[in-house]
Structure 1
Amino acid sequence: MSHDVHHFSMGLWVFFLSYATAVVGSFVGLSCVRRSLDEPRRSGNWWLLMAALSIGGVGIWLMHFIGMMGFAVPGSAIRYDLAPTVFSVVLAVAATLLGLWIADVQSVSTRSVPEWLRLGVGGVLMGVAVSLMHYSGMSAIRIQGTIEHEIGYVVGSVAIGIVASTVALALARRTRRTVVRVGAALVMGCAVVALHYTGMAGVRVTLDPTALPPAGMTVMSLLFPAFVLGIIVLAVPITALLLAPGRDDTVRDEQLEQWASEVERQAAREAVPNSRW
């Protein structure tokens, strides 16, 4: 028999904190995506890696477990298995990185891939990454009973993640304006939070009084190290973005290099003795 569950047992502040976390992680990650487009391929890949850590590790994974602070099942303790929890964060980062890389790739073989196709595939993968992270994270939950998910809510949550991820990625790639990236991060944050709570609305719990009490970690014991790692993960790309030269600086450096090269060539021509008498 299905049992009642609570999703905001600690109050609505958990919802707003989870949304803010998703927005901040998405904004930092999408800023790294924008920066990668101005860099050579090798250094651009490092920016994409920082973007995947920010979006997948903080905007998706950390947001999920912040939201889970409000999840309660009256009559049963809630614990988390460490192995699937760690797997969920690795999955979120890896799948996000793959989606960003596909959206960024310029060509396959000798034929250029249309931008709309790259963005579409990248958005699908990013949306699926959010979904896989959510449900792999949910598989780590241990209660005195069983947890099931209604298929309609699962499909709806995946669709939300795919559509909003594609829109956010497209906005981030098309403009250098910070205000538009903020809008893209707000959209991405909405996608993550909407997917999370849509999926949670489909949770059905059946308690078993004869089962042993669940073993594992509490959500608070998971969140403390997660917060520390999240701060470090965000500090690295934020510092890199602040220290990276702007586009105007890059153009000016290129012009100076070109001028210096022309001066050297001119000096070399003048140094060659005239061979004609």
Structure 2
Amino acid sequence: MTADVSEFHYGLITPIAAYLMAFLGSVLALRCTTRSMDRRRGERRLGWLTLGAVSLGCGIWTMHFIAMIGFSVDGALVSYDAGRTLLSLVVAIAVVAGGVFLVGYRGSGPATLGTAGLLTGLGVAAMHYLGMTAVHTAGTVRYDTTVVVLSVVIAVVAATAALWAAVSIRTVWATVGAGLVMGAAVSTMHYTGMAAVSVHVVQMQSGGQSSTSLLAFLLVMLAGPVAALVLAAAIVMFDPEVVLGQGDWQQPESHPQPASSRGFMS
């Protein structure tokens, strides 16, 4: 028989928390990519793009598994495979890094942006469905193919828009607005993918909802990526140019000064 599946066992707590993580990861990735565009030195660009990729990858992955805390199957216990759960995190960061580095070093031309968006979107979808293979229940998990395809399309469109924003948006408030939209797009992709899920069980079990130990497992899995997001936020917030409000793109081109006027500041 087909069991009742819910994404909202804890009400709106999990979707709201998941959205906030997607928003945070998106905003940090946008700001990091912006910083990479402002700095001319290769090693600094590499560092900012790496931090941006980690932020976006961790944000997307954290959103997914916070949302999964609210996942329940009526009449079936739910558990997770730790190895596949961690592998989905690696996949999320790796594919996002591919897209971020592509546009970070080659710009936002149509061909580059399209390739990077497709790569990243397919990677995000792969992360989602790989993460779903880590879910173990007493039943058989099945997917509606049409809804799965729709979720992949949403992931590709969202990823392309995110990468375009990363290399096009400069101001802080525009970044926040883009982050709000990106967070909504990533969350929409997740819940669209979950709408494709049905679980067929042979025999109902008592106490079908996730146990306290399952919740503890997910929270332990989330600790590392959340810590990475907090660290990235601290780096972005306390970057000297951010603190002083001086981005490289705001600096007018300076004309050579006479040696006598340069002083100790040169």
- Could you state the TM-score of these two structures normalised by the residue count of structure 2? 0.85
Q: Tell me the distance in 2 between the aligned counterparts of 1:173 and 1:50.
A: 15
Q: Say if 1:224 and 1:64 are closer, same or farther in 2 by CA, change over 3 A.
A: same
TM-aligned CA deviation for residue 218 of structure 1: 5.0
Residue identity (%): 35
> What amino acid is aligned across from residue 50 of structure 1 in structure 2?
L
Report if the CA contact (8 A) 2:69-2:218 is conserved.
Answer: no
Q: Tell me the distance in 1 between the aligned counterparts of 2:199 and 2:26.
A: 32
- Which has the higher mean CA deviation after the structures are superposed, 123-132 or 226-235? 226-235
Q: Tell me the distance in 2 between the aligned counterparts of 1:151 and 1:218.
A: 32
Unaligned runs of 5+ in 1: 107-112, 265-277
Give the structure 2 partner of residue 129 of structure 1. 123
Query: Matched residue pairs, number?
Result: 253
TM-aligned CA deviation for residue 244 of structure 1: 2.6
Report if the CA contact (8 A) 1:27-1:184 is conserved.
Answer: yes
Give the structure 2 partner of residue 232 of structure 1. 227
Q: Tell me the distance in 2 between the aligned counterparts of 1:72 and 1:114.
A: 41
Q: Tell me the distance in 2 between the aligned counterparts of 1:125 and 1:60.
A: 15
SS in 2 for 1:205: strand
Residue-by-residue CA offset, 1:106-163 (whole Å, 9 max, x unaligned): 3xxxxxx771222222222222222111100000001112111111111000111111
Report if the CA contact (8 A) 1:103-1:121 is conserved.
Answer: no
Give the structure 1 partner of residue 69 of structure 2. 69
Q: Tell me the distance in 1 between the aligned counterparts of 2:227 and 2:108.
A: 36
Q: Tell me the distance in 2 between the aligned counterparts of 1:6 and 1:231.
A: 25
Give the structure 1 partner of residue 19 of structure 2. 19
Give the structure 2 partner of residue 41 of structure 1. 42
Give the structure 2 partner of residue 90 of structure 1. 90
Give the structure 2 partner of residue 221 of structure 1. 216
Report if the CA contact (8 A) 1:119-1:166 is conserved.
Answer: yes
Q: Tell me the distance in 2 between the aligned counterparts of 1:217 and 1:88.
A: 23
Q: Tell me the distance in 2 between the aligned counterparts of 1:210 and 1:239.
A: 48
Q: Say if 1:159 and 1:172 are closer, same or farther in 2 by CA, change over 3 A.
A: same
Give the structure 1 partner of residue 264 of structure 2. none
Report if the CA contact (8 A) 1:124-1:165 is conserved.
Answer: yes
The one of the two structures with greater contact order (alpha-carbon pairs below 8 A, sep at least 6) is 2
SS in 2 for 1:37: helix
- Could you state the TM-score of these two structures normalised by the residue count of structure 1? 0.82
> What amino acid is aligned across from residue 6 of structure 2 in structure 1?
H
Trace 1:130-149 onto structure 2 (pairs within 5 A): 130-149=124-143
- Which has the higher mean CA deviation after the structures are superposed, 8-17 or 76-85? 8-17
Q: Say if 1:171 and 1:142 are closer, same or farther in 2 by CA, change over 3 A.
A: same
Report if the CA contact (8 A) 1:80-1:218 is conserved.
Answer: no
Give the structure 2 partner of residue 3 of structure 1. 3
> What amino acid is aligned across from residue 34 of structure 2 in structure 1?
R
TM-aligned CA deviation for residue 75 of structure 1: 1.0
Is 1:99 aligned to residue 94 of structure 2?
A: no
Residue-by-residue CA offset, 1:34-55 (whole Å, 9 max, x unaligned): 1111222222111111111111
> What amino acid is aligned across from residue 195 of structure 1 in structure 2?
M
Report if the CA contact (8 A) 1:169-1:184 is conserved.
Answer: no
Give the superposed CA RMSD. 2.9
SS in 1 for 2:74: coil
Unaligned runs of 5+ in 2: 261-266
Residue-by-residue CA offset, 1:163-197 (whole Å, 9 max, x unaligned): 12212221232121111111221121112111111
Q: Say if 1:252 and 1:56 are closer, same or farther in 2 by CA, change over 3 A.
A: closer
Report if the CA contact (8 A) 1:80-1:217 is conserved.
Answer: no
Q: Say if 1:208 and 1:125 are closer, same or farther in 2 by CA, change over 3 A.
A: same
Q: Say if 1:151 and 1:17 are closer, same or farther in 2 by CA, change over 3 A.
A: same
> What amino acid is aligned across from residue 147 of structure 1 in structure 2?
V
Is 1:168 aligned to residue 162 of structure 2?
A: yes
